[in-house]
Copies of this chain bind each other. A is one copy, B any other.
Amino acid sequence: MNRDKLLDAARLLQALQNFADARDWQRFHTPKNLVLALTGEVGELAEIFQWKTDAEAAAIADDPAEFEHLGEEIADVLLYLVRLAQVTGVDLEHALADKLRKNAEKYPAP
């Protein structure tokens, strides 16, 4: 593993590949399907916060059941996002590094 990496997802990518292969699911994992699935999970993430005030949202870790649910939905979104990168061949490290660089140029620190 390279210690200079922003994100080392090698084992996650392997786990996702194995999971799909073992169930013959690669045929469902087209880019469009994965974006729809990702959208479904983002919807569940949004539902967690939709009626909360900012104060209630900030205190979500005080409620164990809600906090666990939040972790589940963040994980769900992340799994589909990383799987989408996997099936389309996007290199996450490269994409993240590029984006952080572009953001730093677009929004220079004072």
User: Footprint of B on A, CB under 8 Å?
Assistant: 1, 3-9, 11-12, 15, 19, 22-23, 28, 30-33, 35-47, 49-52, 54, 57-58, 60-61, 67, 70-72, 74-79, 81, 84-85, 88-92, 94-96, 98-100, 102-104, 107, 109-110
Contact = CB atoms under 8 A, between A and B. Distances in A.
- The number of times this chain is found in the oligomer is 4
A42 B45 contact: no
Contacts of A102: 72
Contacts of A107: 23
Contacts of A5: 8, 11
Given A44-B40, A81-B77, A100 B15 contact: yes
Contacts of A61: 88-89
8 contacts: A7-B11, A32-B36, A40-B43, A42-B43, A67-B90, A70-B90, A74-B85, A74-B90
